[in-house]
Amino acid sequence: MPTGYYVRTKEYREKMSKIAKDRGYGLWSRGRIPAFILRGKHHHPSGEKCSKWKGGVTSENKKVRMGREFIEWRRRIFEKDEYTCQGCGERGYIEPHHLCSFSEYPQYRFEDWNGQTLCRDCHVALHWG
């Protein structure tokens, strides 16, 4: 067989196409899940079954701040303050600030009156100013 350029016959291309379709190749670009993943041959374990599991060491602080209740509270505070820093009036990168400390007053964490929108600079100045 000559080296370099190979002419692939129609039968060969059809055979390879069928193999690719059976294996689920090329479906990512069309928004569908490949068959081999649906058949469970490409499963990534989670939780205790994962090799990187560290015994459930996520801190309470991180769990709360990544939870739905906190994210909804954050959105409500931003909407209340019209996405504007209450310290300097700037719009742009903003952060929610708890008037009553998040760690010291857990009962007030998700109260709307306990939140204020601040830009990064004002938030840093308030805590470490």
Q: Is 53 within a domain?
A: no
Does the residue 1 lie in any domain? Answer: no
Which of 71, 123, 68 has its CA nearest to residue 92? 123
The answer to whether residue 121 is domain-embedded is yes
Does 23 reside within a domain? Answer: yes
Q: Does residue 100 belong to any structural domain of this protein?
A: yes
Torsion-angle region of residue 121: left (phi > 0), alpha (psi -120 to 50) or beta?
A: alpha
Query: What pLDDT does 42 receive?
Result: 55
What pLDDT shows up at residue 8? Answer: 81
The domain total for the chain is: 2
Q: Could you tell me if residue 108 is inside a domain?
A: yes
Mean pLDDT of 42-69: 81
Q: Tens digit of pLDDT for each residue in 64-84?
A: 888 899 999 999 999 999 999
Tell me whether residue 86 is in a domain: yes
- Does residue 97 belong to any structural domain of this protein? yes
Q: What share of the chain in percent tops pLDDT 70?
A: 79
In whole angstroms, give the CA distance from residue 78 to residue 91: 11
Domain that holds residue 19: 10-39
Confidence band of 114 (pLDDT split at 50, 70, 90): very high
